[in-house]
Amino acid sequence: MSLKTHFRPEKIIQPFYTGGKVALDQNGRILVTTLDEDVLVTNFETGEELARLEGVCSPPIFHVQLMANDTE
């Protein structure tokens, strides 16, 4: 019997949080987190990185206002 020893990743999840503040929009679709000195905006359902604000968290404190179109 031959065992499989090599596997191909189906999906890779990048780091998105290293401690600090976390925010989720009212619909639970947009996640805002701190990653070192950056702020990441991530689609919570798909894991897709929507935006990265580089070097804005030193120390890691941020305020982000999420705005959405009411027609969505």
**Whole-angstrom Cα distance, residue 62 to residue 60?**
7
Contact between residue 11 and residue 34 where contact means Cβ atoms under 8 Å apart? no
- Count other C-beta atoms under 10 Å from residue 67's C-beta: 5
| pLDDT for residue 60 is more than 50 | no
**Whole-angstrom Cα distance, residue 21 to residue 33?**
6
C-alpha dist (Å) from residue 19 to 5, 60, 66:
35, 8, 20
pLDDT bracket for residue 18 (50, 70, 90): confident
| pLDDT for residue 53 is more than 70 | yes
